[in-house]
Amino acid sequence: MKDTAINESLHQLIHAYKRRLRAGIQEQQIGLPVSHIRVLKGVFKFPLSTARSIAQRMNLDKAQVTRVLNDLVHSGLIEKTDNPDDRRSQFLTLTTDGISTLEKVSGLEAEVARQMTRNLSTEELENFARIASVMVANMKEHSTPDERS
């Protein structure tokens, strides 16, 4: 298979997946941009995160993450609590509404994955996951330190 065919296949897959997720987000009336959902996931995945730790993990500018976090606090999806070890930072936690929103997103992602993989066997999916992992590892080997997270 030529490199252009692989590139085109990946491009089409990524965009089809994103389009379906965005449509589902609108249908579910979640009302958050993807950047906000990613930050919510980060706060959930890494308990006691701070704005700085989220920005580092996501390779984003701290000011950008701070704006997203302020939106999420204002929307009642996360809350901040004082960090007793560092008065300059605050710990981030999901509220009940934040957890509920993430549950909707997770359900949507599962449905999109089912749609995307419906005509594939378990063996084909396992092979895809293995191949994709190798590709990601190959890319990490040739990335700059900022790209490796």
- Please name the residue that has the structure tokens 């997720």: 21
Q: Using the structure block, give the residue that is written with the tokens 């995307």.
A: 116
What average pLDDT does range 135-146 have in this prediction? 77
What value does the mean pLDDT take over residues 1-15?
85
- Residue 149 — pLDDT band, cuts 50, 70, 90? very low
pLDDT of residue 142: 74
Q: What confidence category does residue 2 fall into, taking pLDDT thresholds of 50, 70 and 90?
A: low
For residues 121 and 140, give the distance between their C-alpha atoms in angstroms, rounded to a whole number: 29
Residue 147 has pLDDT above 60, yes or no: no
- Cα–Cα distance between 24 and 27 in angstroms, integer? 5
Using 50, 70 and 90 to split pLDDT, how confident is the model at 93?
A: very high
Check residue 85 and give its pLDDT: 85
Of 40-44, 56-60, 130-134, the one with minimum mean pLDDT is 56-60
Q: Of 15, 38, 4, whose CA–CA distance to 149 is shortest?
A: 38
Mapped onto helix, strand or coil, the DSSP state of residue 23 is helix
- Considering the four listed CATH numbers 3.20.20.140, 3.40.50.1980, 1.10.10.10, 3.90.1150.10, the one that applies to the domain covering 3-118 is 1.10.10.10
Q: How many C-beta atoms surround the C-beta of residue 65 within 10 A?
A: 23
CA distance 64 to 62: 5
Helices within the chain (DSSP H only): 3-27, 34-45, 51-58, 62-74, 96-117, 122-141
Domains of the chain by residue range: 3-118
Secondary structure of residue 10 in the 3-state scheme: helix
In the predicted model, is pLDDT for residue 106 greater than 90? yes
Min mean pLDDT across 6-10, 37-41, 50-54, 141-145 is at: 141-145
